[in-house]
Chains A and B, each alone.
Chain A
Amino acid sequence: MATFRQNVEATIPALRRYARALTRDSDIADDLVQDTLVRALRSEHLFHGDEVRSWLYTILTNLNRNRLRSLSRRPPLSPLEDNDAPDLAGPEAGGRDIERALAALVEDQRNALLLVVLEGLSYREVADVQGVPIGTVMSRLARARVQIKNYLDNGRPALRRVK
């Protein structure tokens, strides 16, 4: 099954991107990708379809969910609002803002938004990845966008009108 493996390999850079956005940590992100690959290769025989990419996103999304669950059983590591200088300006500050806004989202909403916006999956594909109807994906997206807007508007008033 050379094609299967080629398809998997071609998806690795995108999986790294998605994992990085989900975890905000490059080591944890690559661990997730690695586990995703191991799992995909091991269950190659279970895969009957041609949507390798969606399938890999599904595995990664679920592994991340397991990871978050096991984290939630431990005491929180650090509060979301950390002590970074609040008045940084420039693109760096913007990047950090969106990072925090994403981190503040409910997991399913964050996954849906990232899969659509960053990974370019169709609503149909996201519905398959999340195992929910398309309508649910759309309401997750809508809620995510409202939340992010609120976060950026209220959480960071100083940067409200930058650019």
Chain B
Amino acid sequence: MIDRDSSVTEEELHAFVDGELPADRQEAVTAWLATHADAAAQVGAWRTQADSIRARYGAVAHEPVPDRIKLDQVLRRDRASGRHLAAMATAAALIAFVFGGAVGWFAHGASAAAPTGFDTFTAEALDAYKLYVVEVRHPVEVPGSERPHLTQWLSKRLGSELRIPDLQSIGLKLVGGRLLPGPTGAAAFYMYEGPSGERFTIYCANTTTTQTALRFKSIDRFAAFYWVDDKVAYVVSGPADRERLETVTKTVYEQVDKSGAKKS
């Protein structure tokens, strides 16, 4: 409708309304609008929308900020909760245990034969993912800033030399990690976060299998890749965007595989 005259695009009209139009196009668009009543009406309607939105919500920014979201209060409360962090982490681990235990039990009931490593590990890993990924305040026990400590601690608890993958190259920062009860003892759990807040986790635990191929599983909005390398099972979990998860998995795989090669 607007592109009858290709000299001004609809995108330019939006940019015009939003003050994003380059200065050297300002005059041309203004002149063009003077002779295109339909487009001018449209621009007018967009401006009216913007005005109504500002009229409706603009005043909120001038209200006094409630105490509970004043920065010093948030800081103080957050520090106080930090003191209880250890206790809460224990509680969270207990929940994970009960949660994971129930899944293991059901899985056991479902097939009298021992459930496969793939089933148990991915179930545990996805449960942990779902449980912790929504956590805003306590997603991990040890923050990513203490990577050496985290590596050392989890390696010691699992009894195998772990390497926490660095996923910066694909835009994921290490949030941190925690220790979880796994089907075969301790399990290490790392969480990563992308620039837009999307989270991915890596779950690893010892297993008796030496090696398996990569397997994929998706449940609801979540998905996981599972494989075993050198008697360590890995499960990479994330939102059910298979392509993205594949990229993440590939990066993880290359790094842990490299570390495996280094060891032998």
Contacts and interface: CB of A to CB of B under 8 A. Distances in A.
Contacts of A148: 49
Contacts of A91: 55
Nearest to A121: B18
A98 B56 CA distance: 8
Interface string B45-58: 11001101111111
B134 A41 contact: no
A118 B58 CA distance: 7
Interface residues of A, number: 53
B6 to A, nearest CB: 17
B197 A62 contact: yes
A101 to B, nearest CB: 8
Contacts of B60: 13, 16-17, 20-21
Contacts of A59: 197
B136 A38 contact: yes
A89 interface: no
Interface in A66-97: 66, 69-70, 91, 94-95, 97
B27 to A, nearest CB: 21
B57 A17 contact: yes
Nearest to B198: A62
A156 interface: no
Contact of B55 (A37, A95, A141): A95
A45 B61 CA distance: 28
**Secondary structure class of chain A's binding surface, majority of residues:** helix
A93 to B, nearest CB: 11
A16 B71 CA distance: 13
B20 interface: yes
A98 B53 contact: yes
Nearest to B133: A66
Given A8-B71, A30-B66, A37-B71, A58 B46 contact: no
B134 A46 contact: no
A118 B197 contact: no
A52 interface: no
Interface string A108-122: 000001101110001
A138 interface: yes
Given A38-B137, A42-B78, A129-B196, 17 more contacts: A8-B71, A12-B70, A13-B60, A13-B61, A16-B60, A21-B57, A34-B68, A39-B136, A46-B144, A94-B52, A117-B49, A123-B18, A138-B14, A142-B10, A145-B14, A145-B45, A149-B49
